[in-house]
């Protein structure tokens, strides 16, 4: 996919409407994790350095088209200033007189944040009148919010049709990484999919099967596949009503020449609790009163062998209940192997999704992966093979 980037435009003295993701976690008015702000810092600084007037557009929370004080972006300003190391102006509305006054007062290189776009109903409706009102304060539009690209909203999609549109650096990095993951990847490509349930990942599994050479299934969702093959999974989390779906996925995998790798052993506990008494069992002898909370060491060995054969890995979902010690062991061991192979330059590794990112941080290897996407919904929709409206609108 070809899209315009900041290399294709002269931004000097231009009013740049820059869509960013500032939907950061806040407790008692304090930002508790500034990762999303760090991610857009290079784009903001580059535009400012090149003499653009940098006008930040973002949503925050779900105010549903109304002004709700608790969702004001004003509380984020001090953290944005700290991360950027520069003064950031603020306008109490993203359209109309207040926005215009703030933008008109800007000098080249200045940064101003406009109030929450979702304070207006037109944002989520992608209402043409609202898009036009936003566009009045900009000469060009830059989208640096991959995490919001699965939504066709005014500030994530609509603006790209009214103004010359470009991908910001963080968006560019994400798109280039994803292209290496599933767009034009080096084969063999191996996908690792875990997490709680099959029901939330049916589209994802069906899409991956068409694209990858092997699909490793772990976590609670593996139980549904094992049960569909006639194995007993005891009291484990299992969607027994999805047996048909699981069998259809396995049949489709055969026709697509994608091998499916399921656990061959499991760590079975008494209850869903940290340090619950547990034992390892072969997958065909899970006790009726036990609960599978992690993959066993033979499964790890089998998965690691597949990783050693792979040139590309895409990963979503933990392989066990990684939040509960010691049921993090399988996920941690596999994460370390992917990280080691990536460091040896044998592997391109792309991972994403909220729990996956936490699990990789927990394993202490997140920075060793080729790319970790912090976008939740947009990353999943990408893995499902769905076109993302915010990206389509940036295509050349
Ligand atoms: P997801 O959001 O679908 O990726 O699911 C992530 C959740 O799956 C995590 O909270 C894990 O604790 C949970 N999970 C992974 N493996 C298991 C398992 N064997 N039994 C129950 N929950 C699991």
Residue 22 and residue 27: Cα distance in Å, rounded? 15
* Residue 354 falls in the annotated catalytic set: yes
352 lines ligand 1 (CB under 6 A): no
Q: Which atom of ligand 1 is nearest to the CA of 322?
A: 12
**pTM assigned to the model:** 0.92
Say whether pLDDT at 303 is over 70: yes
The CATH 3.40.50.1260 domain(s) of the chain lie at: 6-172, 185-383
The predicted model gives 343-365 an average pLDDT of 95
The predicted model gives 236-256 an average pLDDT of 97
Q: Give a three-class secondary structure readout of the chain.
A: CCECEHHHCCCCCCEEEEECCCCCCEECCEECCCHHHHHHHHHHHHHHHCCCEEEEECCCCCCCCCCCHHHCHHHHHHHHHHHHCCCCEEECCCCHHHHHHHHHCCCCCCEEEECCHHHCHHHHHCCHHHHHHHHCCCCEEEECCHHHCCCCCHHHHHHHHHCCEEECHHHHHHHHHHHHHHHCCCCCEEEEECCCCCCCCHHHHHHHHHHCCEEEECHHHHHHHHHHCCCCCCCCCCCHHHHHHHHHHHHHHHHCCCEEECCCEEEEECCCCCCCCEEEEECCCCCCCCEEEEECHHHHHHHHHHHHHCCEEEEECCCCCCCCCCCCHHHHHHHHHHHHHHHCCCCEEEEECHHHHHHHHHCCCHHHCCEEECCCHHHHHHHCCCCCHHHHCCEC
Residue 14 annotated as lining a ligand binding site:
no
Tokens read off for 212: 């990858």
The predicted model gives 79-90 an average pLDDT of 97
Assigned fold of 6-172:
Rossmann fold (3.40.50)
Tokens read off for 43: 């784009």
Residue 223 annotated as lining a ligand binding site:
no
Residue 278 and residue 269: Cα distance in Å, rounded? 4
Check residue 29 and give its pLDDT: 86
pLDDT > 90 in the chain, percent: 96
The predicted model gives 290-304 an average pLDDT of 98
pLDDT > 70 in the chain, percent: 100
195 lines ligand 1 (CB under 6 A): yes
> What does residue 82 show for φ and ψ, rounded to 5 degrees?
-65, -45
324 lines ligand 1 (CB under 6 A): no
220 lines ligand 1 (CB under 6 A): yes
275: left (phi over 0), alpha (psi -120 to 50) or beta: left
* Residue 396 falls in the annotated catalytic set: no
Say whether pLDDT at 28 is over 80: yes
The predicted model gives 118-124 an average pLDDT of 98
Residue 284 and residue 303: Cα distance in Å, rounded? 18
Residue 118 annotated as lining a ligand binding site:
yes
Say whether pLDDT at 359 is over 90: yes
Q: Whose CA is nearest to atom 4 of ligand 1?
A: 195
Q: Whose CA is nearest to atom 3 of ligand 1?
A: 195
Q: Whose CA is nearest to atom 21 of ligand 1?
A: 220
320 lines ligand 1 (CB under 6 A): yes
Residue 49 annotated as lining a ligand binding site:
no
- Which of 318, 351, 363, 377 for mutating ligand 1's site (highest number of atoms within 8 Å of CB)? 318
The predicted model gives 80-96 an average pLDDT of 97
CATH of range 185-383; options 3.40.250.10, 3.90.1150.10, 3.40.50.150, 3.40.50.1260 = 3.40.50.1260
The predicted model gives 342-355 an average pLDDT of 95
Say whether pLDDT at 396 is over 80: no
- Which of 193, 195, 283 for mutating ligand 1's site (highest number of atoms within 8 Å of CB)? 195
Residue 218 and residue 270: Cα distance in Å, rounded? 19
Residue 142 and residue 169: Cα distance in Å, rounded? 10
Tokens read off for 342: 């990536």
* Residue 218 falls in the annotated catalytic set: no
Q: What angle do CA 91, 94, 99 make, to 5 degrees?
A: 50
Which of 7, 12, 6, 9 is closest to 107 using CA atoms?
Answer: 12
Distance in Å, CA 195 to ligand 1 centroid: 4
- Of 27-41, 112-126, 282-296, 312-326, least confident by mean pLDDT is 27-41
Check residue 1 and give its pLDDT: 66
* Residue 330 falls in the annotated catalytic set: no
Residue-wise pLDDT tens digits, 44-58 = 999 999 999 999 999
292 lines ligand 1 (CB under 6 A): yes
What confidence category does residue 374 fall into, taking pLDDT thresholds of 50, 70 and 90? confident
Q: What angle do CA 204, 294, 248 make, to 5 degrees?
A: 35
Tokens read off for 339: 């990280």
Query: 208 with 376: CB under 8 angstroms?
Result: no
What length is written for the chain? Answer: 396
């Amino acid at each position: 996919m070809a899209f315009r980037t900041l290399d294709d435009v002269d931004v000097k003295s231009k009013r740049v409407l820059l869509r960013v993701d500032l939907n950061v976690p806040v407790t008692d008015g304090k930002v508790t994790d500034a990762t999303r702000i760090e991610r857009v810092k290079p784009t903001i600084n580059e535009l400012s350095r090149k003499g653009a007037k940098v006008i930040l557009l973002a949503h925050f929370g779900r105010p549903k088209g109304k002004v709700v004080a608790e969702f004001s972006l004003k509380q984020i300003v001090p953290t944005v200033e700290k991360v950027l190391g520069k003064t950031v102006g603020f306008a109490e509305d993203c359209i109309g007189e207040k926005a215009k006054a703030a933008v008109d007062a800007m000098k080249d290189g200045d940064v101003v944040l406009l109030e929450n776009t979702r304070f207006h109903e037109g944002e989520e409706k992608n209402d043409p009148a609202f898009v036009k009102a936003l566009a009045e304060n900009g000469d060009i539009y830059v989208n640096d919010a991959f995490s919001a690209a699965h939504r066709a909203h005014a500030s994530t999609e609509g603006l790209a049709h009214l103004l010359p549109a470009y991908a910001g650096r963080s968006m560019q990095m994400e798109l280039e990484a994803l292209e290496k993951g599933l767009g034009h990847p080096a084969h063999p490509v191996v996908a690792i999919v875990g997490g709680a349930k099959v029901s939330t990942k049916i589209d994802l599994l069906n899409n991956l099967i068409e694209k990858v050479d092997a699909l490793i299934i772990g976590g609670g969702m593996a139980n549904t596949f094992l049960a569909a093959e006639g194995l007993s999974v005891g009291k484990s989390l299992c969607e027994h009503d999805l047996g048909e779906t699981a069998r259809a996925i396995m049949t489709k995998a055969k026709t697509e020449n994608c091998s499916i790798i399921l656990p061959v052993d499991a760590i079975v506990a008494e209850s869903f609790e940290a340090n619950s008494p547990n034992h390892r069992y072969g997958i065909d002898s899970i006790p009726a009163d036990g609960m599978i909370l992690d993959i066993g060491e033979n499964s790890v060995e089998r998965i690691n062998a597949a990783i050693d054969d792979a040139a590309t890995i895409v990963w979503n979902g933990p392989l066990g209940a990684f939040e509960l010690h010691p049921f993090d062991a399988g996920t941690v061991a596999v994460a370390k192997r992917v990280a080691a192979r990536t460091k040896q330059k044998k592997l391109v590794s792309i991972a994403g999704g909220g729990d996956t990112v936490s699990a990789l941080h927990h394993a202490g290897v997140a920075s060793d992966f080729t790319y970790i996407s912090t976008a939740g919904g947009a990353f999943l929709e990408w893995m499902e093979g769905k076109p993302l409206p915010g990206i389509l609108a940036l295509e050349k």
